[in-house]
Amino acid sequence: MKRNIEDYIKPGARAHLVGIGGVSMAPLAEVLKGKGVLVTGSDWQESETTAHLRALGIPVTIGHLPQSVEGTGCVIRTAAVHDENPEIAAALAAGIPVFERAQAWGAIMGHYKNALCVAGTHGKTTTTSMCTHIFLAAGRDPSVMLGGTLPILGCGHRVGHGDTIIAESCEYCNSFLSFAPTVAVILNVEEDHLDFFKDLDDIKASFRRFAELVPSSGSVIVNADNAGARSIAFGLDAFTFGLEAGAECTAAHLTWDRGLPTFDILIHGERYAHVSLRVGGRHNVSNALAAAAAAYVLGVPGKAAEEGLAAFTGAGRRFEKKGTYHGADIYDDYAHHPDELHALLSMAFTLDYKRVICAFQPHTYSRTAALFHRFVDELELADLTILAPIYAARETDDLGISSEKLADEIPGATYCGSLEETADCLAEIARPGDLILTVGAGDIYLAGEALLKRS
């Protein structure tokens, strides 16, 4: 029997969240509590997030114990938690319904007039953050769900009282197909998450289904510069943005000052906003166009786009300055796909540094194996490349792939067997005028933080 999650997240109902410390689970817990749901949760380790949730009156258990689900009405889990998890197994055995995190967010979206969902292989967090800045500047009081931390929020989420929810929307495990977008932004469609998707065609099919969730009264917004995004929009009445000629929302009079862009945003040939960004790179110009397009279709004035984008300094772990060591600036970035690496390193070379040093931690064995040669090509762009061990995340190594093999293919690259060795290597080579980047979706940032503690 198919169960409707709406029946289980009403005031007075009980819901247990497995993996409650996650970046989109913690805000879900807060939103559900605000709706009057009696929320409990579990996570595998203590964190600032679990402490924060307890301070809000949400009990959190450390460890996955079967007894934690006793008495709950439903269980909500992240995509990374499988049926073998002791809590999930206990819930299934007891007949307690188990829902995916995305299903819960989708149900919540149905209560908003506008559900602005930002999807794409990369750029989601930055673009969702830009949208948040714009809608806050417009006084729209949005609710927000991000896959990272945004300084203006002090966290990765916001519970507002306006008629709009802004949500980063991930394709992994088809999670975003449980969402209820009224506006769907599609930044790019590329090969990724090949531990779940069969191939690029499978990924495109998923994004197409996501776009088709938008009702006829809503808007699908597509990057006209990206072949994958264009292909999935075929036959849809999509609103386009892009830097190339022909897009409905585009940039004009683009100039650069010390790596930072200033430009006009034109919509249907008319100036919508004049923008000076505080984040560099052509990819961020494109992200700003996407955010402006979303604001435009939802009736936000250009002045708010100007103000919001001018105030945006980046999301957490997106070219985030961590400090200085021996005259070298240390920045951290979440890039974990070749396209993201290309955008990051290309932007880095527009800045006034003598050397760009990239300490990269590949994320998952499957991604590293599937995109091995593309990673080699992009990592060769750096003046010096340091490779940390692959961050396994949800996987085990059954592909015979390693960071050491990547290092062997990149001239002058160095392989380090641990994050501690990575920090040692960076300390040895750092000199004034260097830009040191710690890059990856795992815990590579710890190497940069360890380096700064030696200052």
CA dihedral 377, 244, 288, 359 (to 10 degrees): 10
CA 359 to chain centroid, in Å, comes to: 20
Summarised one tens digit per residue, pLDDT across range 204-247 is: 999 999 999 999 999 999 999 999 999 999 999 999 999 998 99
Summarised one tens digit per residue, pLDDT across range 239-280 is: 999 999 899 999 999 999 989 999 999 999 999 999 999 999
CATH superfamily of 5-101: NAD(P)-binding Rossmann-like Domain (3.40.50.720)
Q: pTM for the whole thing? A: 0.87
CA distance 77 to 104: 10
CA distance 37 to 132: 26
3-state DSSP call for residue 190?
coil
> Tell me, what's the pLDDT at 148?
82
Summarised one tens digit per residue, pLDDT across range 424-455 is: 999 999 999 999 999 999 999 999 999 999 87
3-state DSSP call for residue 411?
coil
What angle do the packed helices 25-34 and 101-109 form, to 10 degrees? 50
Instruction: Give the closest residue to 350 by CA, choosing from 257, 283, 430.
Output: 257
> Tell me, what's the pLDDT at 1?
62
> Tell me, what's the pLDDT at 113?
97
Percent above pLDDT 70 for the chain = 100
Q: Residue 184 — very low, low, confident or very high, per pLDDT cuts 50/70/90?
A: very high
- Asked whether residue 142 carries a pLDDT value surpassing 90, the answer given is yes
- Please name every residue paired with 75 in a beta bridge, in sequence order, or none if there are none: 16, 98
Amino acid at 429: I
Q: What is the mean pLDDT of residues 125-142?
A: 97
275, 263 Cβ separation under 8 angstroms = yes
Burial class (CB in 10 A: 0-12, 13-18, 19+), 134: buried
Buried-exposed string 187-204: b where 16+ CB fall within 10 A, e elsewhere: bbbbbbbbbebeeeeebb
> Tell me, what's the pLDDT at 411?
96
Q: What are phi and psi of 289, to 5 degrees?
A: -65, -40
Distances (CA, A) of 139 to 133, 160, 218, 274, 383: 10, 11, 21, 19, 45
Q: What are phi and psi of 27, to 5 degrees?
A: -65, -35
Summarised one tens digit per residue, pLDDT across range 24-47 is: 898 899 889 988 999 999 998 999
Q: What is the mean pLDDT of residues 3-17?
A: 95
The full length of the chain comes to: 455
Q: Which one-letter DSSP state was computed for residue 67?
A: G
CA 293 to chain centroid, in Å, comes to: 19
Q: Residue 133 — very low, low, confident or very high, per pLDDT cuts 50/70/90?
A: very high
CA dihedral 71, 74, 77, 81 (to 10 degrees): 60
- Asked whether residue 56 carries a pLDDT value surpassing 80, the answer given is yes
Summarised one tens digit per residue, pLDDT across range 65-95 is: 999 999 999 999 987 799 999 999 999 999 9
Q: Which residue has the tokens 């980046």?
A: 314
Pairing of strands 355-360, 260-267: unpaired
Percent above pLDDT 90 for the chain = 87
- Asked whether residue 101 carries a pLDDT value surpassing 90, the answer given is yes
Q: Give the other-Cβ count within 10 Å of 86's Cβ.
A: 16
Instruction: Give the closest residue to 288 by CA, choosing from 318, 320, 261.
Output: 261
3-state DSSP call for residue 192?
coil
CATH classification for the domain delimited by 320-453, as one of 1.10.569.10, 3.40.50.970, 3.90.190.20, 3.40.50.1820? 3.90.190.20
CATH code for the structural domain at 110-311: 3.40.1190.10
Instruction: Give the closest residue to 144 by CA, choosing from 250, 288, 260, 291.
Output: 291
Structural domain boundaries of the chain? 5-101, 110-311, 320-453
Q: What is the mean pLDDT of residues 16-20?
A: 96
CA distance 427 to 121: 33
- Asked whether residue 2 carries a pLDDT value surpassing 90, the answer given is no
CA distance 99 to 102: 8
Fold match, 5-101 / 110-311? no
- Asked whether residue 286 carries a pLDDT value surpassing 70, the answer given is yes
> Tell me, what's the pLDDT at 310?
97
Q: Residue 22 — very low, low, confident or very high, per pLDDT cuts 50/70/90?
A: confident
> Tell me, what's the pLDDT at 252?
98
Instruction: Give the closest residue to 215 by CA, choosing from 102, 118, 115.
Output: 115
Summarised one tens digit per residue, pLDDT across range 309-358 is: 999 999 888 899 999 999 999 999 999 999 999 999 999 999 999 999 99
Q: What are phi and psi of 320, to 5 degrees?
A: -95, 120
> Tell me, what's the pLDDT at 213?
98
Q: What is the mean pLDDT of residues 366-371?
A: 96
